[in-house]
Amino acid sequence: MSNSRRGFFRELASAVASARDATAEPGPPPPPDLTDEEIARYSRQLVLPEWGAAAQLAVSEASVLVIGAGALGAPVALYLAGAGVGRIGILDDDAVELSNLHRQLLHFTPDIGAPKAESAAAKLRYLNPGIVVEPYQVRVEADNAAALLEGQDLVVDCSDSFATRYAVNAACCAARVPLVQAGVLGMSGLVMSVKPGRTACYRCAFPVEPQDAPRCADAGVLGPAAGVIGSLQALEALKLLTGVAPAIADGFLQVDLAAAEFLRVRVRRRGDCPDCGAL
Ligand SMILES: [Zn+2]
C-alpha cells in the first residue's frame, strides 16, 4: 500500500475516533487506531466507500456468536474472521465426520473425529490471529440460550434444526440481540435478519414449527448451495454490525439455486407473536 493511501486511512481512523470522543459523555474508551498490519489486511474492504475506517472499527469491537460450525457456519465464520470481527464465538457439540467434508469447509480429512468447534477455531486463528476466537462445545437449548447470548452483539444461527432455530429466535428477541437466520437444503435456502422489537422475527415469518421436515442427511445438500446461503448470512451480519447497507429485515430472501432465482418475501411483525409481540 502506498504511503499516501496508508496516511489517508490513518487520518480517517483518527477522525472517527476524535468524533466519537467529542460526542461521548462518560462511556466506553475510544476505539484504537488501526495498525499498519490491520490497514494492509483489510485494505480491500477499507477502500470501499461504504465501508472505510468507521465500519472497520465497528466490526473490530463486535462480539458475534456463530451457532453451528457446519455447512453454513463455515463460510459465516471464515468471512467474519477475515473481515476482522473482534470476537467470534463458535458453538457446536458435534465431531467432524467424513460425510461433512464436501460442504463444511472449515474441516479437513485429518480433522475427522475432532470436535467441530475446536477444528473450526483452529482454522479461524490461522486465518486471522488478530481476533479472539472462542470455541464452545455445547448445544443450544431453550434453557441455556439466554446465558450463551450474554455479551453478544449479534447471533448468526447456522444450526440445522428447527427446534434450535426457534429457541435461538426466542432468546435473541428476549435479550434484544440482533440475529441472522438461515436454512439450506438441496439447492435452495433462505436468509432473514431480525432486529428484535423493530422488525419481524423468525416466528413472525414462520409461526408454527414444521414437524417431520426433511433433514440434510435424508434430502441431501450441495456444498456450493450451502456456500451461497452462508455467504449471504455473513454479508447480513456485516450489514447489521456496521449499517453499511440495509439488511434483509421485515422479510426473508428465498433462494432457489436450481432455477437461479432470488425472491424477497415481505413479512409483517405479528402483535400476537409469542417471541417479539410484547417488545
Ligand atoms: Zn415475532
The per-residue pLDDT for range 62-92, each reduced to its tens digit, is: 999 999 999 999 999 999 999 999 999 999 9
- Compute the distance from residue 201 Cα to the ligand 1 centre, in Å: 4
pLDDT of residue 71: 97
Whole-angstrom distance, CA of residue 140 vs CA of residue 49: 38
Examine the pLDDT at 218 and tell me if it is beyond 90. no
- Compute the distance from residue 168 Cα to the ligand 1 centre, in Å: 12
- Compute the distance from residue 274 Cα to the ligand 1 centre, in Å: 7
Please compute the mean of the pLDDT values over residues 12-18 and round it to a whole number. 49
- Compute the distance from residue 215 Cα to the ligand 1 centre, in Å: 25
What's the pTM value of the predicted model, to 2 decimals? 0.88
Q: Quick check: 267 and 195 in contact, CB under 8 A? A: no
Residue 10 binned pLDDT confidence (cut-offs 50, 70, 90): low
Examine the pLDDT at 21 and tell me if it is beyond 50. no
- Compute the distance from residue 138 Cα to the ligand 1 centre, in Å: 26
- Compute the distance from residue 205 Cα to the ligand 1 centre, in Å: 7
Please compute the mean of the pLDDT values over residues 153-164 and round it to a whole number. 95
- Compute the distance from residue 206 Cα to the ligand 1 centre, in Å: 9
Examine the pLDDT at 4 and tell me if it is beyond 60. no
Examine the pLDDT at 18 and tell me if it is beyond 60. no
Residue with grid cell 410484547, as numbered in its chain: 278
Examine the pLDDT at 20 and tell me if it is beyond 70. no
Please compute the mean of the pLDDT values over residues 251-278 and round it to a whole number. 97
- Compute the distance from residue 268 Cα to the ligand 1 centre, in Å: 9
- Compute the distance from residue 175 Cα to the ligand 1 centre, in Å: 13
- Compute the distance from residue 171 Cα to the ligand 1 centre, in Å: 12
Residue 114 binned pLDDT confidence (cut-offs 50, 70, 90): very high
- Compute the distance from residue 247 Cα to the ligand 1 centre, in Å: 17
- Compute the distance from residue 270 Cα to the ligand 1 centre, in Å: 6
- Compute the distance from residue 209 Cα to the ligand 1 centre, in Å: 13
Please compute the mean of the pLDDT values over residues 9-22 and round it to a whole number. 49
Examine the pLDDT at 154 and tell me if it is beyond 90. yes
pLDDT of residue 136: 97
- Compute the distance from residue 229 Cα to the ligand 1 centre, in Å: 22
Examine the pLDDT at 186 and tell me if it is beyond 60. yes
- Compute the distance from residue 166 Cα to the ligand 1 centre, in Å: 11
pLDDT of residue 135: 98
- Compute the distance from residue 187 Cα to the ligand 1 centre, in Å: 27
Q: Quick check: 250 and 267 in contact, CB under 8 A? A: yes
Q: Where are the domains of the chain?
A: 3-20+33-266
Q: Quick check: 253 and 192 in contact, CB under 8 A? A: yes
- Compute the distance from residue 235 Cα to the ligand 1 centre, in Å: 22
Q: Which fold has domain 3-20+33-266?
A: Rossmann fold (3.40.50)
Q: Quick check: 71 and 116 in contact, CB under 8 A? A: no
